[in-house]
Structure 1
Amino acid sequence: MLLSVLLLLLMVSWTEAAYTGTVFTHTAKDVQGSSFTFVRRIKLSFSSCAEGDSYLGSTNKIDESSGEWCLKEHTWKFTDQNLDYRCEWWTPPTWVNNSNGVSTFKFRIIYELKKRSDINRPNSSPQTGIIPLIRVPSNCQRDINLLTFDPDGDNVQCRYGSNPSDYECYICTAPSVLSVSSACSLSFSPTSSSNEGSYAVQLMMEDFPRWSITLTRSDGSTYSWSPSNFMTQISVQFVFKVDPAAPSCTAGEYLPRFLPPTPEHGAQFFIDLNETIEISIRAEATQSVITGIQFSGPFNMVKSSSGSGYFTLRWTPSFGQNNDDESHPVCFAVQATASSSVYQSELRCVIVTVSNIPFIVTPSPPPKTSVTPTTVALPLTTTSPPPKTSHVKVVKLKIKTSMSLKDKQDELEKAIQDQLITGGLPADIKVHLLSFGIANKTAAP
């Protein structure tokens, strides 16, 4: 709690701040003896980069839109022996001016760090991302599908913050022009010009186990946890701006439209430490001029352009930046202008997972026998039989192939199946690719 108090003192020292949003997440590592490690990341945005430094001290810049917002990240890594429940909150002073009357802001994180029986370590929060300013013309329909990736395989839900006494928000007025579903989809419908302007969006994202589990504290005491109880609550806050009406709402005219090879929303990429991932993004707009790309991702990700509408996001994770065995959201939108009007594409987000043998833990349901639930990760190059178990749910593979993952999915699944059978798994094993993404990778110098 000392760290929280220190941050609060830093925050209240800046009285002219114009806050534009935050996302606060944490990732738990494996338990080693009586201790465990977890990493917390806060992405915080203000109208200028100097304000972020005043609140969080040592921060790393991610991206900025000059005169509108500057997104920065601060990371804490802890080794702890206290497997228990925690709640932290922050109350800096002032939101950027907005139409729903939200002034002073609050954001918080609640996380349950007792050891889970299904994954044998503490819970990790959902991983999501957002750029600080989402904009849409007042006459255009727009759906914003937030990234809802959970490293533990939990069910993720969203709602507006509504309880000031629980530090979910200070003034909890939701934007009248934007609805949110429990599946974390935000919907905007065409509205009158009188509703144009900026709105403060204050969401709570929660993860729920998919079945009843047992939680164990450091002292050995246990607690039953049902699927109706959340494991983590994180604040997801940003600015939603309703711009003047556009001459056309057709994507690809004034509003930029994504083209291949831009990855689909929710695509997953797997890389090793010290490898470089290059995410290629292409967009077009026939009636406006594309001016740039805005993104939220790891702080040392670099954006570049090779011509109008051609962009690359490039990142090389290193061990010293606490990137190993973690999943990192990357969200982006392309912006264009025509005359004095600004137009933004849809928001897309992907997940980049960093690990030597990358896999996402899928929690196993309680076994009907006494067999211990197990998740196995196997590289395609294995020559020794994998451990046999009657309770394998998901195998995550790092695949290096010249096949087209989209056009040759059936052939690729058959090749993986044959390899696993050769490695010692039963001949009736079934293989299905749940998701995949395509990226160029190069070895770091």
Structure 2
Amino acid sequence: MLSSVLLLLLISGAQAAYYGAIITNYFGDVQPFVLTYHFKESGSSCQEVDILQCGGNCNTPPVYAIDESRNEWCQKTRVDIYYRYGPNKFTYQHSVGSSSWIENRNGIVTPLLRISNDFRTRSDINKPNSTPQTTIIPLVRVPSNCQRNINLLVSDPDGDDIRCRYAAYPECNTCTPPSVLSVSSSCSLSFSPTNSSDEGPYAVQMRVEDFPRQTITLTDGNTGVQEVKTSSIAIGSIPFQFVFRVDPAAPSCTEGEYLPRFLPPTPEHGAQILTNNNQALEISVRAEVTQAETTELLFSGPPGSAKSSSGSGNFTLTWTPSARDAGLNYPLCFVVQANSSGSVYQSDLRCVFVTTGNTTVFRPSTTTPPQTTPPQTTPPLTTTMLTTTTNQPTTTTTPPRSSTPNATPVPGPNYVLALDAMISTTLLMETDSATIMNLIKEELKRQGLPSDITLKLLSSRLVGVTTPAP
């Protein structure tokens, strides 16, 4: 019988006020597969987070500061990279304990973090499973008299079905969910107006899980033993924890009065923003209130992201991806906070995806290299989306030419030999191939290819692209 491997790390020390954490992992696309862990944790101060994560010594591996909110909370992340993750370690669970949660209404005291994933090779992608990717700020707040829906932004590198739920034993020590907050399997949180007796902070302990969209086989590379996973069995399960605070009633729940309202050019929730490796990305965030004063932008994003302000209600988020970020789809979430007579008000939580890679327009040429498109925003992942992002320069060919001077070039076709593309859709290739192919063609045209390109389906996972002669 196959056994799992459990790693338990108990951290003690200063009485840190814990504000939640998220752990995700990701396998690269190049063999031998590299496993990257992102461990994002929050506490009442940045020094306490250092103690929680590495006993105060964060030299190896480094811990990156993400954001903090004026002596209330701090969020940091640690990035662990494993070039050898163990030939026999097909499942892995990681538990972390710390001193105590921030005092909360649902009686959660001792934190427990556990990530589960299956490291055996999947038959559909021929590599181990990557967990869902998501994030959130440590403290989300809403007035007790205002309706609020929080739509979490989650993605899965393997295209799996993602579902959310509250944690249950043994995924938590005390598992009482917040009485004022409901969660749907589609990862939406809902708060309905309540009375003053429910005001205060609540500890939120959730699980985000990925399920294969079809029956797959998992193979242990060491023994060859296989196991079948159906679409009703989770492959990976990550902890998703934060604090939800119910504040005193606001004079008005109308956005733009006390609760900040987002204005253009702030990207829409779920937008996908593309950038290139080592190219600085800037995201403009603008919000307004008429009966309060905007005070700060709070966010959670990838390591190295930062914020700045250029006046009341005008903010900029910046991030420069490195080579190790190539091809990754990072979630970035933010709120704008306002103050009026000592009361604090938050906007809706808004999240976007930032995707890295070298974005190339494929124009075959003998004299000039492929042109590079600027960062742009594409539709949310709930619709079909394809980007021509590549981790390495894309190779194109030109039509064969005669060695005779001034000879007429032999007409096409031209072929795109390498196209690293990412597609997210609810359509099935087996039944909706024509629709998918048409959507891919339209997206390639938007990326700069000629309007008369032709596409050929090579297999259920491969598409051939042919461009006409120049």
TM class, shorter-length:
0.7 to 0.9
Q: 2:260 aligns with which of 256, 270, 281?
A: 256
The corresponding residue for 1:13 is: 13
Distance (Å, rounded) in 1 between the aligned partners of 2:181 and 2:73: 21
Structure-1 residue corresponding to 2:49: 52
- TM-score by structure 1 length? 0.80
Q: Which residue of 2 aligns with 1:399?
A: none
The Cα of 1:67 is off from its aligned counterpart by 2.3
User: Superposition RMSD on alpha carbons, in Å?
Assistant: 3.1
Distance in 2 (alpha carbons) for counterparts of 1:160 and 1:204: 6
- Cα-to-partner distance string for 1:79-98 (whole Å, 9 max, x where unaligned): 12526111111121200000
Is 1:247 matched up with 2:251? yes
Which residue number in structure 1 is paired with residue 353 of structure 2? 351
Q: Which amino acid aligns with 1:224?
A: V
Structure 1: give runs of 5+ residues left out of the alignment.
Answer: 363-374, 397-408, 428-445
Q: Are the structure 2 counterparts of residues 275 and 196 from structure 1 closer, same or farther at C-alpha, using a change threshold of 3 Å?
A: same
Amino acid at match of 1:207: D
Is contact 1:385–1:424 with CA below 8 Å preserved after alignment?
no
Q: Is the 8 A contact 1:386 1:425 kept in 2?
A: no
Matched, 1:209 2:212: yes
- Looking at structure 1, the residues matched to 447 and 76 of structure 2 have their Cα atoms a distance apart, in angstroms, of 44
**1:301–1:316 contact (8 Å) kept in structure 2:** yes
Contact 1:99–1:198, Cα closer than 8 Å, also in 2: yes
Tell which structure's C-alpha radius of gyration is larger.
2
* Match in the other structure for 2:163: 157
- SS state at 1:419 partner: coil
Q: CA deviation at 1:248?
A: 0.2
Residues 385 and 414 of structure 1, relative CA distance in 2, 3 Å threshold: closer
CA contact (8 A) 1:380 1:419 kept: no
1:29 matched to 2:22: no
Tell whether the 8 Å contact from 2:39 to 2:77 is kept in structure 1 after alignment: yes
User: Quick one: which of 446, 449, 452 aligns to 1:419?
Assistant: 449
Equivalence for 2:327: 325
Equivalent position to 1:113, from 119, 138, 144: 119
Separation in structure 1 between the aligned mates of residue 424 and residue 208 of structure 2, nearest angstrom:
27
Shift of 1:68: 1.2
CA contact (8 A) 1:382 1:423 kept: no
Structure number with the bigger relative contact order (C-alpha 8 A, sep ≥ 6) is: 1
Shift of 1:395: 9.6
Partner SS, residue 42 of structure 1: strand
Query: CA 1:209–1:376 in structure 2 vs 1: closer, same or farther (change >3 Å)?
Result: farther
Which residue of the other structure, out of 320, 336, 339, is the alignment partner of 2:338? 336
Kindly provide the CA deviation profile for residues 251-283 of structure 1, in whole angstroms up to 9, marking residues without a partner as x: 111000111111111111222210111011110
Contact persistence 1:283–1:334 (CA under 8 A): yes
1:376/1:228 CA distance change after superposition, 3 Å? farther
- TM-score normalised by length of structure 2: 0.76
State how far apart, in whole Å, the 1-side matches of 2:289 and 2:69 are: 20
Distance 1:356 1:114 in 2: 30
Residue 377 to residue 136, structure 1, CA distance change in 2 (3 Å): closer
For residues 260 and 126 of structure 1, do their structure 2 counterparts lie closer, same or farther at Cα, with a shift above 3 Å needed? same
Give yes or no for contact 1:376–1:394 (8 Å, CA) kept in 2. no
Deviations 1:400-433 (A, max 9, x none): xxxxxxxxx9997583499367555259xxxxxx
- Runs of 5+ unmatched residues, structure 2: 361-377, 382-386, 398-413, 426-438, 458-470
